[in-house]
Chains A and B, each alone.
Chain A
């Protein structure tokens, strides 16, 4: 007898239906409830996300200097300008270098923190909070602390004070691009700000791994430590890792605050959003070129994300594992 048949046979008689209460207007309507709950968000989404995107797309085909209601159509001129602009194209190179370092580093650090915190037997909540708290800090505030306190170029900057104990001369961390110490400042700031958030994602994933897997592995002779991590923990974290890498990559594309605040008025270390800000928006007020750059960037982010998702198997069903 199959389970299905058993279920069929065992199906209980339907309970006596409770007498239906009279509906009070629309309150009983699922459709009404759907719109009641989603409506405000959809309206917000339309006004604050989709409308600006469409407006930006429209602006990108116009000569829009010092106005967002232009009337001079220029076709693809703004796109040509942005794609042939050394600085904009160069900013994509800056992003690539930044992403190539920050994505794996943040992944590794947040996973390490999660493993560490997950094993703690005492003060677990305290350490989770300590590592997570920087997530609540503003990027601008963190940048200013990094710039003016920790990596200040004068003798009373924290890093220069420490280096001074070993007889090292003051370093202008952010003012001089040779050698490019500014990367150290930017990367440490972002690691501090982001790792706690991704640690929480990994922590949740770690706690979802069934303990039986480790018990079975132990019975089969697997050594605790690297061996179980390599063959059980890491594969079980695959979906979370993929999502984390995807989020990190998108966050790297959208990097602005710390670059803008740490490296104001430089021509180096400009990721695409900072470049767009300087070249087309900000003080230049060239909304046409800025919008064209934003559209190019959006298309690029979508393409890379889809490719990465496909490559890493994001969203692939259980059966295809």
Chain B
């Protein structure tokens, strides 16, 4: 009897002890920290999941090589990245550093730290447009890691067979799509929602998102005409719609689902492997006669969470990796997908970008490129995405769709700039 009683109590005590230990362990929780090889402080960094093989391992390799902090990486599914990042930034589990695009609301809400002191010594070696797009009131808030020009990729043999020249206007692009569309192959793919070509269509219409004084600049007759042309293209039946992968993935072109696809320079190695030399690139064509071809110079930058517990340690890591370690920067830019290094010295010596279509991509970047406007926020982007959804995909009057966007963008501008 007594043994049994003792046994039950022991069991209870053991269970209680384990529960308490579990609770304490849970307090440490899965906050993503720890696990690195360095000593001292623990840092967490967020990256969106890049599509190119080897990228995740590379980022973790760089983190492991840093010996002044334990740097842990969270590799987040691309579609969830922005939502997770923004929501987590409001909590104590926010990452110490994260990649994103320059946007003023991050600065106004005090979410990103001033990195001027670590960039200033090498400022002249960065692409001036990259520095400008990260600067507010003379302070620089992010370090550009890669520049990603985005344009059209096309199958040379398909265009030759259909006797189609590389289009230089939006009308020619529509005609090319019609001629290239066959029973099994669609002429053109710009993504299922067409959102990736919004910016380039606006620039190719000779307009811009905002003026220098941060007023609306996209609501022009040229953009309205462009939207009407895009609607015609959308309903032509020559456009690939409902593809399994979005336009950032070159699979639709590689698998022969389309003859022309909008994508980014990062896809070049993958396309080369799939199609050999049977491909070329061209910028987004002129939307209207008075417009100009354009290329979106996207990319990713590294920011430090200003509200984090280890701001200085995070800044040191950013400086170490994205300013001092030029070997890693070149590897990151050219060993997986192709990206243009934002450091001029690296961009000039990157041998993989000096020939063939990669060199052509660099030329388009330099000649037709447009960089991010730091005042153009995520909410404003959504407003223009709604314009495309409403007027191009759903047949709403473009003028009315733009009016509606104006209301949303004005509300944002008022809150940000007064």
Contacts and interface: CB of A to CB of B under 8 A. Distances in A.
Interface of A: 65-68, 86, 148, 151-155, 157, 170-178, 264-268, 278, 282-286
A283 B393 contact: no
Contact of A67 (B82, B90, B415): B90
A178 B195 CA distance: 18
B386 interface: yes
Contacts of A153: 192, 241-243
A177 B195 CA distance: 16
Contact of A176 (B89, B241, B257): B241
Contacts of A286: 379
Nearest to A266: B389
Nearest to A287: B90
B5 interface: no
14 contacts: A66-B89, A66-B111, A68-B90, A151-B242, A152-B242, A153-B243, A171-B242, A176-B241, A178-B395, A265-B389, A283-B82, A283-B378, A283-B381, A283-B382
Contacts of A173: 242
Contact size class for B? Answer: 20 to 34
A46 to B, nearest CB: 18
A171 B393 CA distance: 15
B109 A65 contact: yes
Nearest to A66: B109
Contacts of B415: 65
Contacts of B108: 66
Contacts of B82: 282-283
A63 B253 CA distance: 46
B267 interface: no
A284 B109 CA distance: 13
Contacts of B234: 176
A176 B109 contact: no
A68 B385 CA distance: 27
Contacts of A170: 242
A172 B393 CA distance: 12
Contacts of B92: none
A148 B111 CA distance: 37
A264 B86 contact: no
Interface of B: 79, 82-83, 86, 89-90, 105, 108-109, 111, 184, 192-193, 195, 234, 240-244, 257, 378-379, 381-382, 385-386, 389-390, 393-395, 404, 415
A259 B385 CA distance: 18
B363 to A, nearest CB: 32
Nearest to A152: B244
A264 B389 contact: no
A153 B415 CA distance: 41
Given A68-B90, A177-B394, 16 more contacts: A65-B109, A66-B109, A66-B111, A67-B90, A152-B244, A170-B242, A172-B241, A173-B242, A174-B192, A175-B193, A175-B242, A176-B393, A267-B389, A278-B382, A282-B83, A282-B86
B244 A148 contact: yes
Contacts of B86: 66, 282-283, 285
A148 to B, nearest CB: 5
A116 to B, nearest CB: 34
A160 to B, nearest CB: 9
B262 to A, nearest CB: 15
Considering residues B82, B192, B195, which has the most beta carbons from chain A within 10 angstroms of its beta carbon?
Answer: B192
Nearest to A261: B79
7 tightest A-B contacts by CB?
A153-B242, A172-B241, A66-B109, A175-B241, A172-B242, A267-B389, A283-B378
B394 A283 contact: no
B181 to A, nearest CB: 11
Contact of A154 (B244, B382, B393, B394): B244
Contacts of A285: 86, 105
A265 B90 contact: no
Nearest to A155: B184
B205 to A, nearest CB: 22
A264 B79 contact: yes
Nearest to A174: B242
A284 B389 contact: no
A152 B242 CA distance: 6
A157 B389 contact: no
B90 A175 contact: no
B27 to A, nearest CB: 15
B86 to A, nearest CB: 5
A62 B244 CA distance: 42
B379 A267 contact: no
B109 A67 contact: yes
Considering residues A155, A178, A284, which has the most beta carbons from chain B within 10 angstroms of its beta carbon?
Answer: A284
Contacts of B390: 267
Contacts of A268: 389, 394
A177 B90 contact: no
A174 B415 CA distance: 35
A175 B244 CA distance: 11
A56 B193 CA distance: 32
Given A153-B242, A154-B257, A176-B393, A265 B385 contact: yes
Nearest to A181: B242
B286 to A, nearest CB: 26
Nearest to A175: B241
B292 to A, nearest CB: 28
A8 to B, nearest CB: 45
Contacts of A278: 382
Contacts of B382: 278, 283-284
A273 B234 CA distance: 29
Nearest to B379: A284
Contacts of A67: 90, 109
A99 B344 CA distance: 58
Contacts of B404: 86
Contacts of A266: 193, 389, 393
Contacts of A267: 386, 389-390, 394
Contact of B83 (A68, A151, A174, A283): A283
Contacts of A152: 242-244
Contacts of B90: 66-68
Contacts of A283: 82-83, 86, 378-379, 381-382
Contact of B393 (A65, A68, A177, A264): A177
Contacts of A155: 184
B242 A284 contact: no
A282 B377 CA distance: 13
Contacts of A176: 234, 241-242, 393
A268 B195 CA distance: 15
Given A65-B415, A267-B394, A154 B379 contact: no
Contacts of A66: 86, 89-90, 105, 108-109, 111
